[in-house]
Amino acid sequence: MITRIEQFKKKFPKEPKFRIKQIQEALFKFPDGSWEDATTLSKPIREELTKSIPWMSLTLESMQEDFDVRKALLKTQDGQMIETVLMMNAKEQWTVCLSSQIGCAMNCAFCATGKMGLKRNLTEDEIVDQVRFWQSQIQLEERISNLVFMGMGEPMANYDSVKSALNTILDNTDLGPVKITVSTVGFLPRMDLMLDDPDWPEVRIAISLHSVDSIARKKLMPSSTPDFLNDLRDWCLRYLEKFGNNRHHLTFEYLLIKGINDSETDAKKLARYIHSIGHAKVNIIAYNDTGMFEAPSTATLERFCDILQRSEIDVLRRRSLGSGISAACGQLANQ
């Protein structure tokens, strides 16, 4: 699908290049406005654009709210639904959780989105417009300080649109690259591409690891390959050689599931794996119920984190928001 900027260029090939920048500025400044707000364009051009290109590619279908989290169901131009989440973070600013696809092809056993299968990739506009949508929802004095690609979909499987969306967001907001995290199942062919791609911005990368036992991981994450853990280690070493510094560490997400990957041995194996990579952080997330497994007890969770800490792993127990409105990690499935 062709983006609104490409459509504009096609319609008005004689307009100077700086118009694009002006349009992008207006799009971000007036997220719930219209082409009439792009006042640097002539009246006839604005009228033509109003007729042919939507100012916002997504419309609000419904909103659910909890204490410090909001989930929006948004409708695309072709009538599909996506979910996006706004969460209060530790700095009392907002983190937006973005979707990159409608559904997902990765089919992870614990994830509700995976059960939908993949409907299609989101366009660059649809990714960018989730950010614009939330900008239009928050108060003037409030601020979106972080973005995470942890909503529906596998961002690396929609590499080109995610990349352009990232660059557009970086160019038109006050967000720096380290305030944005792209989370992936570990889609190595695209991650390889990323390492040599001069246009890929230096955003943070999080890898959903969830198990360091290759057979157990394959059961949880069918996209895993037999040699995944070794290949991932190689990739991480190359990444760290290229980008590794205080601002660019890698993060591993580890979803703790009762009786599946939460034993002391699992914790020790995980610590060994992380040490074999070096500079990396681990986020422990308790499984949010999607009807497939059981969550670990708080005691198990604490013991697991404790073992990692004693092994000098930089571990964070990620607090889970939004389960009251099915907006937590893995629960997005546009019901």
- Say which DSSP state 48 is in: H
Closest distance between ligand SAH and the C-beta of residue 266, in Å?
Answer: 16
Distance separating alpha carbons of residues 73 and 101, to the nearest angstrom? 14
Instruction: For tokens 């610590």, name the residue.
Output: 271
Q: Is 97 a catalytic residue?
A: no
Q: Is 329 a catalytic residue?
A: yes
Instruction: For tokens 């990396």, name the residue.
Output: 280
What residues numbered 190-209 form the site for ligand SAH, per CB under 6 A? 208
Tell me if 330 contacts ligand SAH by CB under 6 A. yes
What residues numbered 246-305 form the site for ligand SAH, per CB under 6 A? 253, 255, 285, 287-288, 290
- Say which DSSP state 272 is in: H
* From candidates 55, 110, 200, 228, binder to ligand SAH by CB under 6 A: 110
Pairing of strands 81-88, 69-76: antiparallel
Closest distance between ligand SAH and the C-beta of residue 278, in Å?
Answer: 21
User: Is there a contact between 169 and 128 (Cβ–Cβ < 8 Å)?
Assistant: yes
84 pairs with which residues across the strands?
Answer: 72
The total of other beta-carbon atoms located within 10 Å of residue 208's CB is 25
Considering the complex, state which of residue 27 and residue 86 has its C-beta at the smaller distance from ligand SAH.
86
Query: Per-residue string for binding with ligand SAH, 207-236, x by CB under 6 A?
Result: -x----------------------------
Closest distance between ligand SAH and the C-beta of residue 136, in Å?
Answer: 24
Element (H, E) at 73: strand 69-76
* From candidates 5, 102, 185, 280, binder to ligand SAH by CB under 6 A: 185
Query: Which tokens is 194 given?
Result: 């990323």
Element (H, E) at 207: strand 204-208
Closest distance between ligand SAH and the C-beta of residue 247, in Å?
Answer: 21
Residues with a catalytic annotation lie at 83, 329
Interface ranges with ligand SAH (CB under 6 A)? 106, 108, 110-111, 150, 154, 183-185, 208, 253, 255, 285, 287-288, 290, 329-330
